[in-house]
Structure 1
Amino acid sequence: MPIRELGDGFSASAISFGAMGMSEFYGKTPDDDASLEVLDRALELGVTMLDTADMYGRGHNERLMAKFVARHPQEHASGRIRIATKFGIDRDPADSYKRSINNSPDYIRKACEASLRRLGVERIDLYYAHRVNTDVDIADTMGVLADLKQQGKIAHIGLCEVSAATLARAHAAHPVAALQSEYSLWTREMEHDVLPACQRLGIGFVAYSPLGRGFLTGKYSSPDKLEAGDFRRSNPRFQADNLRNNLKLLPALQAMAERHGCTPAQIALAWLLSRYERLVVIPGTRSVARLEENCRATQIALPHEDIASLDAVFTEQAVHGQRYPEEGMKGANA
């Protein structure tokens, strides 16, 4: 498994792991033992960074990471396992999809302490602002995070879903190790200015939903086939008319996968890994087979003509539907 340098001295495996789906959002969740088997295999395959957040499963996901770390204390102590978590999305106790964005200094400090307790660690390897509230000066947020770093509670600072301008202001206040945003063949807005800002400033890019929430695997043809409780049932891009139009994009991806003797998912991941040498992806899965498939994407080197062909098919204009419902867009590109 290739290791990539992100920013501020932080590194991670090219294929890292997004753990959110092990706690909620994608229908019925597995029991912890099944999830831990997948995570154990990820470690065997060379995956180094596990991505979680305090809001996933209302703390369950971080507690799951604690169980995994407890199984592999030496690997965690040596840096072979690195945990990235997040703060800033304050969920409504009565409604899982209602949330506010909280970046107040007191909230950040309390959120950090709570995450440390749930994770069962003394220091968080990479601590992200999950979303940014523009009512709070980003320099003030970075100041609080720098204090937490000075105290040894976090090792590196990251931001999620921010604009290029916010990223630059934050980086001027304190080095940012990584910017995490949605990025895939069917979500390419960050190529306008956010990705170039990362390249210019030497900041790593962590791409979440690199398979378009499963769409780019080619396995989802109707929202009716998704489980109850799967948030994609309300995602605009998976709704009937939008999905019908979006499905027209897949034949080009499927044909390319057939030529390369691999899967559409592997082509989609290989395309992403070609975009920037400091970029890593965090696909999530609850299947060992899918995990192994994802990791093999690092063995695929797409020629320039294939990259250009995908660029021409998967344009922003060709994708139908907003990437989140309105509530999910709160704090995006702040």
Structure 2
Amino acid sequence: MTEMTTRTLGKNGPAVSALGMGCMAFRMGDDDREKQAVKTIQSALDSGFSFLDTGDFYGSGQSEMLLGRALRGRRDDAFLSVKCGAQVDPNGRIIGLDGRPNSIKNFAAYSLKRLGVDVIDLYQPGRADPDVPYEETIGAIADLIKDGKVRYLGVSEVGADLLRRAHAVHPVTALEIEYSLASRFIEREILPTARELGIGVVAYRILAEGMLGGSLPQGQPPAGSSFLAPRMHGEHYTRNMATAQVLDAMATSKGFTPAQLAMAWVLSRGDDIVPLAGISRPSRIIDNLNALEVRFTPEELSQLDRAFAPDAIVGLRYPEFVLKWAAQ
């Protein structure tokens, strides 16, 4: 089996697994479902996945509780990244943000309890609350670092200006943000700013809701699909899936899956980038690890660069009501 490698998170940050594990999908349920979630997390740890990414609003704390069960007796094997600040309704829908300092500290207290740990490795507001000065939100996390409850400051889905403002309050270790062949907006200003400041990038949604995964049908979305992104609806879907066929063809010629190539492309963008893989069951671990074996020729990278130029994918990456809280 392919061995996991490590990357340094930011200029002066910790060493973490080159691939991170996104834990958004883990939910409580029947006994078998919970056992599989715990087994998947522990199998990922066994395979070298140290970077585990969750949020206190994932399943209203359910993801954290399952992580806590999986990490009993194994705390030192994991680097825990936790997002906070999103308000959700009983159905799990995000209905607002809360970046007030006291709220941030309250969120952290509950996360520590659910995770069953004494300290969170990387802590970040999931989005910037437009009603609270960002410096106040970041200052609360700086206080948590001083108190020994958090090790490193992270930020999520912010532009270059907020990134600089956060870094001026306390050194930022990592920026979590969407980045993939289908979503390259950070290359204009956000990524250069992060690199100037020595901030690592944690890339999520690297398969663009399956657009780059090679398993979705061409033409029209599958019946009953509930994609969040407008780019995955109607004519946008048809056009974008046609663009994705370039990746499909290259994957076939190289003997890998489109998903592995999509992940490998993100890895190829720099050693300061850690892509997050969504792994729902143990059998998927090897598939993700094999992405580390992909090597692109200069000609292949040029082909992908042309096919997935920054404006090649049409349609918004989030609905308008969510995009107002996201980096542009």
Aligned to 1:87: 84
Note the 1:54-73 alignment, pairs <5 A. 54-70=56-72, 73=73
Aligned to 2:139: 143
Structure 2: any 5+ residue segments left out of the alignment? none
CA distance in 2, matches of 1:141, 1:180: 16
Matched position secondary structure for 1:52: strand
Matched position secondary structure for 1:22: coil
Which deviations, in whole Å up to 9, do the C-alpha atoms of 1:165-217 show, x marking residues without a partner? Answer: 11011112111110000111101111111111111111110000111122211
In 1, are the aligned partners of 2:86 and 2:98 still within 8 Å (CA)?
yes
Once structures 1 and 2 are overlaid, which stretch shifts more, 119-128 or 316-325?
A: 316-325
In 2, are the aligned partners of 1:181 and 1:206 still within 8 Å (CA)?
yes
CA distance in 1, matches of 2:202, 2:135: 22
Aligned to 1:15: 19
Aligned to 2:34: 32
In 2, are the aligned partners of 1:99 and 1:327 still within 8 Å (CA)?
no
Structure 1: any 5+ residue segments left out of the alignment? none
CA distance in 2, matches of 1:161, 1:262: 30
Once structures 1 and 2 are overlaid, which stretch shifts more, 138-147 or 118-127?
A: 138-147
The structure with the greater share of residues assigned to helix is: 1
What number of residue pairs does the alignment pair up? 321
Shift of 1:291: 2.3
Q: Which amino acid aligns with 2:22?
A: G
Aligned to 1:2: 5
TM-score under structure 1 normalisation? Answer: 0.91
In 2, are the aligned partners of 1:253 and 1:264 still within 8 Å (CA)?
yes
Aligned to 1:124: 120
Structure 1 vs Structure 2: percent identity of aligned residues? 36
Once structures 1 and 2 are overlaid, which stretch shifts more, 129-138 or 268-277?
A: 129-138
Note the 1:222-261 alignment, pairs <5 A. 222-225=220-223, 231-232=226-227, 234-261=228-255
Matched position secondary structure for 1:33: helix
CA distance in 1, matches of 2:173, 2:36: 32
Note the 1:128-277 alignment, pairs <5 A. 128-221=124-217, 222-225=220-223, 231-232=226-227, 234-277=228-271
Q: Determine if the alignment matches structure 1 residue 76 to structure 2 residue 75.
A: yes
Matched position secondary structure for 1:316: coil
Structure ranking higher on relative contact order (CA contacts 8 Å, 6+ apart): 1
In 2, are the aligned partners of 1:223 and 1:239 still within 8 Å (CA)?
yes
CA distance in 1, matches of 2:44, 2:125: 25
TM-score under structure 2 normalisation? Answer: 0.92
Shift of 1:223: 3.3
Shift of 1:113: 0.3
In 1, are the aligned partners of 2:50 and 2:78 still within 8 Å (CA)?
yes
In 2, are the aligned partners of 1:86 and 1:127 still within 8 Å (CA)?
yes
In 2, are the aligned partners of 1:98 and 1:327 still within 8 Å (CA)?
no
RMSD: 2.0
Of residues 316, 325, 331 in structure 1, which corresponds to 2:325?
Answer: 331
Aligned to 1:52: 54
